Amino acid sequence: MEKKIEELNGFRDLRIVDNFYQTSSFFPMPTTEIGTLSEDGQTNIGSYSLCFPYYIAGKDYYAMVLCCRNSSNTAKNILRTGKCSINFITDKRKYFKEAVRLGYPGETTEEKMKDCIFTLVDGKRARENPNEAFPKIISEAFQVFECTWVKELDGAQNDTIQEEYLPPYHDFNGITSKFGAHFILKIDHILMKPKYYDAIIDGVTSTSFPQVPVDYGYRDNKNFWYTRFKRPISEPIPASKGISLDTVKYAASRIDPDVKFTDEACAKLVKVPRVFLSTVLKGCVSWAKENNVNLITEKEMATIQDKRNKEKKWVRRAKYGKTQ
């Protein structure tokens, strides 16, 4: 007799097993190609989907985290050199097919890279440090993160390549289990193709996003699955989620005793997320004191916002080497 599966409010409780993100769930992931240096200096490319932002603010650097097998070429190369490139590919079918091939374990770097369809070129770190070896980057990628492993975190600086990894293991960096490794990767550079660079700097539209695939991993012991990119949809922040004028006025009246804000100026800030309001107001006060202004009106607020937008665009363009 077939066992009846219990349901709870329309859901079934699924058993959680190893590699749960693809065996016990549908978890959308990126498709990245990780470049590392083999012992002979050749760039090795391995495909990974468990690669996500880690430090996004509040530190003196930004970082990604990579989860991988500790026996992989990628893990061994990062343990040895501490360097990698994270290459983001588009959703072309031939690219995903190649990603599946490059992600299959067991081959040496020479074997897997012999027929690689991707074009490997030098990144910015190689140009900055011509006497030092760095993993190459994929020319066909729409963006690349050049990274350095922060091995000092979690005491992982003494981790070395082993035939078998025995406990104790680290909690979040280096060798983290018998078969697994996590690497906190400081982002040294973000390199981006011009079309998408301009979209970041000048503002996105529905046609300016890269064609990013969504990876669903290896399933049924047969296939890797992904979906192709579709036109993105924008959804404005609901007006009800903004902050009230009274809230802005209250905060503005207490931010600095020497600088005041008119109601019209405060009205310009009602769309600022509450968590950032204090920072924005302090920036306005700083501008006011630099310009000997004691009362910020709608006119001064427009000047501040225009100056901020121009500075933000200039800094980004200067940082990435593009001029007006």
CA-nearest of 198, 216, 200, 169 to 70 is 169
| Rounded CA separation 92/199 (Å) | 21
| Rounded CA separation 130/264 (Å) | 55
**What is the share, in percent, of the chain residues with pLDDT greater than 70?**
93
Tens of pLDDT, residues 268-301: 999 888 888 999 999 999 999 999 999 999 999 9
Every domain of the chain and the residues it spans: 17-227, 239-319
Taking each helix axis from N to C terminus, what angle separates 298-319 and 274-290, rounded to the nearest 10 degrees?
Answer: 100
| Rounded CA separation 89/102 (Å) | 13
DSSP β-ladder status, 43-48 and 32-37 = antiparallel
> Cβ distance 128 to 146 under 8 Å?
no
Which secondary-structure segment (H or E) carries 48? strand 43-48
For the domain spanning 239-319, the CATH number is 1.10.8
> Cβ distance 123 to 144 under 8 Å?
yes
- Residue-level pLDDT at 323: 45
- Residue-level pLDDT at 58: 86
Q: What is the DSSP string of 235-267?
A: -PPPGGGS--HHHHHHHHHHH-TT-EE-HHHHH
The neighbour count for residue 97, using CB atoms within 10 Å, is: 12
- Burial group, residue 42, by CB count within 10 angstroms (0-12, 13-18, 19+): middle
| Rounded CA separation 72/296 (Å) | 59
- Residue-level pLDDT at 196: 96
The neighbour count for residue 305, using CB atoms within 10 Å, is: 14
CA-nearest of 309, 303, 310, 311 to 284 is 303
Tokens standing for 201? Answer: 């700097």
- Output the tens digit of pLDDT for each of the chain's 324 residues: 567 788 999 999 999 999 999 999 999 999 999 999 999 999 999 999 999 999 998 899 999 999 999 999 999 999 999 999 999 999 999 999 999 999 989 899 999 999 999 999 999 999 999 999 999 999 999 999 999 999 999 999 999 999 999 999 999 999 999 999 999 999 999 999 999 999 988 889 999 999 999 999 999 889 999 999 999 999 887 766 668 899 999 999 999 999 999 999 999 999 888 888 999 999 999 999 999 999 999 999 999 988 877 766 655 555 555 544
Given 1.10.150.120, 3.30.1330.40, 3.40.309.10, 2.30.110.10, which CATH number is that of 17-227? 2.30.110.10
In DSSP terms, 51 is beta-bridged to: 66
CA-nearest of 194, 197, 165, 192 to 181 is 165
CA-nearest of 179, 136, 161, 173 to 45 is 136
Provide the 8-state DSSP code for 29: B
Pure H helices in the chain: 20-23, 73-81, 93-103, 109-113, 124-128, 194-202, 245-255, 263-267, 274-290, 298-319
Q: Residue count of the chain, please give it.
A: 324
Show the 3-state SS of 76-98: HHHHHHCEEEEEECCCCHHHHHH
